Amino acid sequence: MQVDMIKTISEKLQSHGVRPSFPRVKIYEYLFAKRSHPTVDEIYQHLSPGMPTLSRTTVYNTLNLFLKENLVHQINIDEREVRYDATVDEHGHFQCDSCRCIYDFPVNIDGLELNALGGFRIREKNLYLKGVCSRCLITIKRGIINEEVEGDKDR
């Protein structure tokens, strides 16, 4: 990790009232660099070889602190797992049904028409979309075309 990056992350953590310990800096660096919206296990698996004293509990506790201080967002797009995102600006998430990747996309969540919820207090706003990403669609189309070509050869 570059000295400038350590300094930048340390300053960001401090500006949110978080003491920049080595594990916290490394976890935030990983989240910031890894835009794949990793799970606790993915973070732990990646960082533990270089940090033998790191535990899953430390990762969980650090992420909970980051959530509390609005340094990260929790993503619950898939009921089987919780993922984390260092991008706290307003945006939506798209999960591909085929490759399971999660993509960020810009959205004006405050611009949504919510008049039907008049009198409600909204605590959280998330926009999750699911479908098939463009890369997987290309792969699927190639597979269909190849099957059609192979079928034509058999005739």
Model confidence pLDDT, tens digit, residues 77-118: 888 899 999 999 999 999 999 999 999 999 998 888 888 888
Model confidence band, residue 19 (pLDDT cutoffs 50, 70, 90): very high
Where do the domains of the chain lie, and which CATH numbers do they carry? Answer: 1-87 (1.10.10.10), 89-155 (3.30.1490.190)
Four-point Cα dihedral 23, 46, 29, 63, nearest 10: -60
Separation between Cα atoms, residue 123 and residue 104, nearest integer Å:
21
Alpha-carbon distances, residue 131 vs 76, 93, 126 (angstroms): 16, 11, 17
Separation between Cα atoms, residue 102 and residue 81, nearest integer Å:
12
What is the structure's pLDDT at 150?
54
Separation between Cα atoms, residue 68 and residue 47, nearest integer Å:
22
Over residues 131-144, the pLDDT tens digits come to 999 999 999 888 77
Q: Please give the structure tokens belonging to residue 32.
A: 């910031």
Where are the strands (E) in 1-155, listed by range? Answer: 73-78, 81-85, 92-96, 102-105, 128-131
- Indicate whether 5 pLDDT > 90: no
Eight-state DSSP code of residue 88: -
Sheet of 102-105: strand order equals 102-105, 92-96, 128-131
pTM here?
0.81
- Indicate whether 58 pLDDT > 80: yes
Separation between Cα atoms, residue 55 and residue 23, nearest integer Å:
10
Give me the amino acid identity at 93.
H
